[in-house]
Amino acid sequence: MGHVLSPGERALKAPGAGGVRVLGGVDPRARILGAVLFAVVTVSCNRIPVLVLALAFAVGAMVLAGLAPRRTLKRMATMDGFIIFMLVLLPFTVKGQALFTLWGFEASREGMMQAVTIGLKANAVILALMVLVGTMEPVTLGHALHRLRVPAPLVHLLLFTVRYVEVLHAEYLRLRQAMKARGFRPGNSLHTWRSFGYLIGMMLVRAVERSERILGAMKCRGFTGAIPLLAHLSFTRRDGVFALVLGGIAASLVALESTHVLL
């Protein structure tokens, strides 16, 4: 899936960012549940040293899994770009002990702490998610979700989306190239926005027509209304070890949060 953001990479080549060194053999269901457990525990912790530790665990997992650190951290930074202005505002909107004054606005210590807390939580959770789940093949994610009792129609919707994102992205690039060939250059004008609107409209029209052909092809092959989900997953000893390590990490975070060992 990652290819959609960075052109030049091969599409849907097995796992997202190429890291399978340690996690490759672990059951995808265990990885999904692990990511959820880690997220819930991290979000419920509020002490900064504990959250730094959680982020350290996530970074450690990234290194262990053999993910390309630069690219993964760059994606994480993109997310930070979205939230940075909310975090920057916090010290000025939370009342409390004044830390410094900027253009006549007082920044409070409490607000600063809250901004740091949110930043740490958001980064730790998203990094762990990318490492544990993002390294799976998207199709595997669908099958694992099905085995975790996610309703079949939703899983099929996910699988169709995964399959056609790539196709439609290629179509989008083709349409853009055609526009470029006709001298279209995006700028700040009504013409630009209208052209983008036509582009999106055209993509929707083509998508629907494509889906009609897909349904026709499926029916031709004996589609009866149910799609078999082929996945044979079974828990192994490796999954036991994974569960033990992740459970240990979660338990230690909870313990550190409730007692006051660190600091």
Partner 1 sequence: MHIVDGALSTPVVIGGTLLAVGGIALGLRKLPMEKIPVAGVLSATFFVASLVHVPIGPSSVHLIMNGLAGLVLGWAAFPALFVGLLLQAVFFGFGGLTVLGVNTLDIALPAVIVHYLCLHGVRAASPAVAAIWGAVGGGLAIALTTGCVAVALALSGEEFVPAARLVFFAHIPIMAVEAVLSAAAVYLARKVKPELFGVLAVPGGRS
Place of tokens 């990234």: 62
The bridge status of strand 98-102 relative to strand 105-108 is: antiparallel
Q: Are 107 and 124 in contact (CB under 8 A)?
A: no
Q: Are 257 and 51 in contact (CB under 8 A)?
A: no
d(CA 261, CA 256): 6
| Rounded least distance, CB 246 to partner 1, Å | 15
| Between 148 and 162, CB nearer to partner 1 | 162
| Between 192 and 258, CB nearer to partner 1 | 192
Phi, psi of 213 (to 5 degrees): -65, -40
| Between 160 and 231, CB nearer to partner 1 | 160
| Rounded least distance, CB 176 to partner 1, Å | 9
| Between 13 and 240, CB nearer to partner 1 | 13
| Between 98 and 234, CB nearer to partner 1 | 98
Residue 204 CB coordination number (10 Å): 10
| Rounded least distance, CB 140 to partner 1, Å | 11
| Rounded least distance, CB 204 to partner 1, Å | 6
d(CA 128, CA 150): 21
DSSP per-residue letters across 216-251 = HHHHHTT--S-----------HHHHHHHHHHHHHHH
| Rounded least distance, CB 137 to partner 1, Å | 11
